[in-house]
């Protein structure tokens, strides 16, 4: 707060350019200070960085840059502590369990860090949970909320509260690596016959609640593809395949990866897409999957038909308080999200204004009490994909992707 007040004093009598420079400097300093503290919180802060990085079009650049970097820049767990965590969870230290184990992590997940290992000639990835995450969730979120309330982001961005609630829900679900192992095996069984997807195999005998061992996939994340200058046609192809994979999950499998952060997808040298980090998944009831398909087929100007379908999906009750407002928001969301699926023209995801409008619509829906869990997680996952497509500047014929599932 003191830095923000000092910035306001420095703006007195300054011209427009100077005032803007002071604002930018203050935001960057605030973001840097909060970032340094958040990095020590690991789990909640890393997950917050992931959620906010999917909404960077809504945030001041300094905040988007700093918070998105949390997942890459958190201080690693000391090697000795990693050894203790593995021994406590699996009964033996890593040198007894693996032929080779690298003490330095090669990646940071939201709740732990990932180490390269080898056993019997197989290359493995070992995810080790940060110690005390389960016990610290409540206190860490109290600190997180207090920190953000002292910065201009919380003052001008009230949508952060729903984001924090979502982050907490994700963290509480993801602290159990046995649940993630189950999800990896479920997706692996359902997708093993698919030629364009790869799900890492779980090594159960080397996994537990706080340690997860799986085969290691080698490939590229989206940021590496962007730095490599991959042709636009490849961007379009990858986005098309990711959208197809999303509808395969939601309309065929009935269960989907609810955290569509870019770091959870790996683009493999053989052209397949590797699915990583399945700690947060959502199962959809069969009747909801069936009724959901119909939403893509109804005319966008038919309010009566759409309203009836929202009721069938239990997204809307005409007798509830604020019914008119909630219906208006559902219709608005439908008309922002669905037109691209009813046209054979390629949709240009480089349009940041459209993505911002859809994100704000979901935020307004949450504020209005539209908290149906399937709707919220489904739209969050879809917005995560859309944000990734925006990064790629992808152009996708969405209608051609979806029609295979209708």
Residue 142 and residue 63 in one domain = yes
Cα 380 from Cα 385, distance rounded (Å): 9
Contact 391, 222 (CB under 8 A): yes
Residue 139 and residue 231 in one domain = no
Contacts of 156 (CB under 8 A, 6+ apart): none
Put the strands of the sheet holding 265-267 in their side by side order: 197-198, 273-275, 265-267
DSSP-based three-state secondary structure for 309: helix
pLDDT for the residue numbered 21? 55
pLDDT for the residue numbered 3? 41
Beta bridge partner(s), residue 122: 119
Residue 17 and residue 149 in one domain = yes
Our count of domains for the chain comes to: 3
Contact 279, 214 (CB under 8 A): no
Residue 22 and residue 161 in one domain = yes
Residue 29 and residue 121 in one domain = no
| pLDDT tens digits along 357-370 | 998 898 888 778 77
pLDDT-wise least confident of 101-110, 128-137, 186-195: 128-137
Residue 380 and residue 359 in one domain = yes
Residue 142 and residue 226 in one domain = no
Cα 243 from Cα 245, distance rounded (Å): 5
Burial class (CB in 10 A: 0-12, 13-18, 19+), 367: middle
Residue 239 and residue 101 in one domain = no
pLDDT for the residue numbered 368? 80
Burial class (CB in 10 A: 0-12, 13-18, 19+), 134: middle
Residue 198 and residue 310 in one domain = no
Full domain range(s) for residue 186:
79-129+176-215
Cα 21 from Cα 80, distance rounded (Å): 45
Cα 370 from Cα 363, distance rounded (Å): 10
Residue 197 and residue 335 in one domain = no
Question: What would the mean pLDDT of 314-332 be, rounded to a whole number?
Answer: 90
Torsion of CA 41, 44, 49, 54, to 10 degrees: 180
CATH number at residue 121: 3.30.200
Tokens of 213: 């061992």
| pLDDT tens digits along 217-239 | 999 988 888 888 889 999 999 99
Owner of token pair 């691209």? 340
pLDDT for the residue numbered 374? 73
Residue 47 and residue 62 in one domain = yes
Residue 309 has pLDDT above 80, yes or no: yes
Percent of the chain with pLDDT over 70: 72
Residue 22 and residue 94 in one domain = no
DSSP-based three-state secondary structure for 279: coil
Known catalytic residues?
Answer: 259
Residue 131 has pLDDT above 90, yes or no: no
């Amino acid at each position: 707060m003191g830095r923000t007040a000092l910035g306001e004093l420095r703006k007195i009598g300054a011209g427009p350019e100077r005032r803007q420079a002071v604002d930018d400097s203050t935001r960057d300093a605030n973001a840097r200070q909060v970032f340094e503290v958040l990095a020590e919180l690991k789990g909640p802060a890393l997950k917050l960085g992931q959620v906010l990085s999917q909404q960077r079009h809504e945030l001041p650049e300094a905040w988007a840059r700093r918070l998105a970097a949390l997942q890459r820049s958190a201080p690693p767990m000391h090697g000795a502590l990693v050894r203790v965590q593995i021994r406590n969870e699996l009964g033996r230290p890593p040198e007894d369990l693996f032929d080779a184990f690298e003490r330095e992590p090669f990646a940071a997940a939201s709740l732990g860090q990932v180490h390269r290992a080898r056993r019997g000639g197989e290359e493995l990835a070992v995810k080790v949970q940060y110690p005390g995450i389960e016990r610290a969730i409540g206190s860490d979120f109290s600190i997180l909320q207090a920190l953000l309330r002292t910065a201009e982001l919380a003052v001008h961005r009230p949508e952060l509260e729903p984001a924090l609630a979502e982050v907490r829900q994700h963290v509480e679900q993801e602290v159990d690596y046995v649940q993630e192992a189950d999800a990896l095996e479920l997706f692996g069984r359902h997708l093993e016959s698919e030629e364009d997807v790869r799900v890492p195999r779980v090594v159960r005998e080397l996994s537990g609640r706080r340690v997860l061992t799986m085969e290691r996939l080698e490939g590229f994340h989206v940021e590496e593809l962007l730095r490599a200058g991959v042709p636009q046609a490849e961007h379009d192809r990858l986005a098309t395949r990711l959208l197809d994979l999303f509808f395969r999950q939601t309309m065929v499998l009935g269960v989907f990866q609810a955290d569509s952060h870019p770091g959870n997808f790996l683009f493999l040298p053989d052209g397949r897409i590797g699915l990583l980090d399945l700690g947060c998944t959502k199962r959809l009831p069969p009747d909801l999957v069936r009724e959901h398909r119909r939403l893509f087929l109804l005319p966008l100007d038919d309010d009566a038909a759409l309203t009836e379908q929202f009721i069938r999906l239990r997204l809307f009750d005409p007798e509830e308080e604020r019914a008119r407002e909630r219906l208006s928001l559902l219709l608005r969301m439908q008309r922002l999200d669905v037109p691209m699926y009813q046209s054979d023209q390629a949709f240009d995801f480089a349009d940041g204004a459209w993505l911002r409008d859809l994100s704000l619509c979901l935020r307004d829906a949450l504020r209005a009490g539209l908290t149906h869990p399937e709707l919220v997680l489904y739209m969050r996952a879809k917005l995560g994909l859309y944000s990734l497509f925006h990064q790629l500047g992808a152009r996708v014929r969405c209608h051609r992707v979806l029609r295979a599932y209708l």
